């Protein structure tokens, strides 16, 4: 046992916010094998009558995913939604320019809505503001949400969908600040188009919520100016501004890598500041919230992706195989999102299957859980309720890019209805376990029901179809003695301490 100790005080009244369940959302893009060979594979032994893989459905249900962003991503900026509806035999094959593949359009809007229902998720639909604009956005919305009696609503009915899809959340394009984006725009160009599109969409269906594109990542040269300009145009007609961020351990510096969630924390605070500046500038009573609708680790597959031949169908693109250290950072990223639950109302782990994903499949073969599956599942299943703001004291360390990195990364979620308290904690220490003392005297009669630990001696250990080498266990030693919960957090570990009245 090391001599390192950390303390936290957890009080019922120290509330950050109710968790919006959409914070545990995900993302399925027409990219690589996310759709074809991922969620959809007719002829697979596990395929249902519609071609959906039942083994994948079961894994997604285990994650308890409430919302899935679709159909992109870079893909959406060149996508004609009409290609993906109506009789499959009549659907065109297209050159898909974002990822330079062939899109068969076998699966489109209606099929995806069908699939989302099977996994108990809502759809977060993106519209094409790259090659298209206001007209297509309003037409797609009418097709999806209008009951009947108009051209596009009756077209949907003729395609076999009498009831409207009632899609509530819509993204106004994707990463429009990125020079790689089809139809890339300046902040003014995008802001004007997004605002006019938002106005028209809200005329079609006033009940929807809209997400304006923020920066593609924090290191974009236009970051901050982009957000301010876009929100200046769109403030009164959108509900959310988006954030995207991916991290990698290219330098193989574990201490620095595990501290990257501090950068994510700072990114969130920066975007909140910008949104609130525009609120003040406009003397508005409305608060813009955040949709962190792309986040994950992504770097393992970069070299392989450069070697893929263009114009093939569903090639294996962006297939990161995640290791144990990636799961630790993903755990900290989830903790960071929860700490900002007052403003981050939507978040989408990008993506869900095969493409930088917690779930992997073999085409024609099995599906399995990547290392990052576990913290995502634990947060989604046990992190429902109110995020509390614990007072924490922890040892700290310095790394290449960060100073004063807390060894303990933690938060707590209180579910009053179920009378449950969950403490999520990452021990970032490379050498030593950490003794955590949590004062929960405010929670009278609560007992430890489980202390889940994800740990592994090999940081680079991965899971495969043949072997699940990185899996959590419930042998954690957390105990509650008169309102003081004591737990030993193993070095480099993800911990879920569950208490119930």
Distances (CA, A) of 40 to 47, 48, 272, 353, 406: 8, 9, 38, 10, 42
Would you please indicate which residues are annotated as catalytic (active-site) residues?
A: 175, 294
Question: How many residues does the structure list for the chain?
Answer: 501
d(CA 117, CA 121): 6
Q: Helix or strand or coil: residue 167?
A: coil
* Tokens standing for residue 27: 């993302």
Give DSSP secondary structure letters for 300-317: TTHHHHTTPPSS-SS---
Q: Which helix (DSSP H) or strand (DSSP E) does residue 379 occupy?
A: helix 373-382
β-strand pairing of 240-247 with 289-297:
parallel
Q: What is the CB-side half-sphere exposure of residue 228 using CA atoms within 13 A?
A: 10
Strands (E), 380-419: 386-388, 391-393, 396-397, 405-406, 408-415
Tokens of 477: 């030693």
423 contacts: CB under 8 Å, gap ≥ 6:
8, 10, 410, 411, 412, 438, 485, 495, 496, 497, 499
Count CB atoms within 10 A of the CB of residue 55.
17
Which residues lie below 8 Å from residue 25, measured CB to CB, with a gap of 6+?
65, 66, 67, 68, 69, 121, 124, 293, 346, 347, 348, 349
- Cβ atoms of 499 and 466 closer than 8 Å: no
Angle between helices 187-204 and 134-145 (to 10 degrees): 30
Q: Round to whole Å and give the CA distance between 378 and 335.
A: 11
The answer to whether 393 touches 6, Cβ cutoff 8 Å, is yes
Q: Which of 434, 174, 330, 442 is CA-nearest to residue 338?
A: 330
Q: Residues 6 or more apart from 403 whose CB is under 8 A from it? A: none
């Amino acid at each position: 046992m090391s001599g390192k100790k950390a303390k936290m005080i957890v009080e019922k009244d120290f509330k950050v916010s109710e968790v919006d369940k959409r914070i545990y959302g995900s993302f399925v893009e027409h990219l690589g094998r996310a759709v074809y060979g991922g969620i959809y594979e007719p002829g697979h032994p596990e395929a249902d009558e519609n071609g959906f893989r039942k083994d994948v459905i079961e894994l997604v249900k285990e994650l308890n995913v409430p919302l899935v962003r679709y159909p992109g991503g870079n893909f959406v900026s060149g996508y004609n939604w009409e290609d993906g509806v109506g009789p499959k035999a009549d659907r065109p094959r297209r050159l898909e320019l974002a990822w330079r593949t062939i899109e068969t359009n076998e699966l489109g809007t209606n099929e995806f809505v069908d699939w989302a229902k099977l996994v108990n998720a809502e759809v977060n639909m993106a519209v094409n503001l790259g090659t298209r604009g206001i007209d297509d956005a309003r037409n797609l919305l009418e097709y999806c949400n209008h009951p009947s009696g108009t051209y596009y609503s009756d077209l949907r009915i003729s395609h076999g969908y009498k009831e409207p899809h009632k899609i509530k959340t819509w993204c106004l394009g994707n990463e429009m600040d990125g020079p790689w984006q089809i139809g890339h725009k300046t902040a003014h160009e995008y802001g004007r188009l997004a605002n006019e599109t938002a106005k028209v969409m809200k005329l079609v269906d006033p009940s929807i919520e809209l997400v304006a594109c923020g920066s593609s990542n924090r290191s974009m040269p236009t970051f901050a100016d982009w957000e301010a300009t876009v929100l200046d145009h769109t403030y009164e007609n959108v509900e959310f501004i988006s954030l995207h961020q991916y991290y990698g351990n290219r330098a193989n510096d574990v201490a620095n890598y595990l501290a990257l969630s501090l950068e994510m924390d700072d990114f969130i605070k920066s975007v909140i500041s910008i949104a609130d500046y525009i609120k003040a500038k406009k003397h508005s009573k409305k608060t813009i919230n955040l949709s962190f609708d792309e986040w994950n680790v992504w770097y393992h597959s970069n070299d392989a992706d450069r070697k893929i031949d263009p114009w093939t169908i569903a090639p294996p693109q962006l297939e990161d195989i995640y290791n144990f250290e990636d799961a630790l950072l993903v755990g900290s990223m989830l903790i960071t999102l929860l700490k900002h639950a007052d403003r981050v109302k939507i978040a989408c782990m990008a993506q869900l299957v095969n493409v930088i994903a917690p779930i992997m499949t073999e085409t024609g073969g099995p599906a399995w859980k990547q290392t990052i599956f576990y913290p995502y599942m634990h947060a989604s299943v046990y992190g429902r309720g109110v995020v509390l703001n614990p007072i924490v004291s922890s040892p700290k360390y310095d790394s290449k890019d960060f100073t004063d990195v807390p060894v303990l990364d933690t938060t707590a979620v209180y579910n009053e209805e179920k009378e449950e308290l969950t403490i999520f904690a990452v021990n970032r220490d490379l050498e030593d376990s950490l003794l955590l003392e949590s004062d929960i005297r405010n929670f009278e009669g609560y007992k430890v029901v489980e202390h889940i630990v994800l740990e592994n001696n090999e940081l680079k250990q991965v899971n495969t179809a043949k072997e699940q080498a990185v899996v959590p266990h419930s042998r954690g030693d957390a105990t509650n003695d008169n309102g003081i919960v004591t737990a030993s957090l193993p070095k480099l570990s993800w911990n879920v301490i569950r208490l119930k009245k």
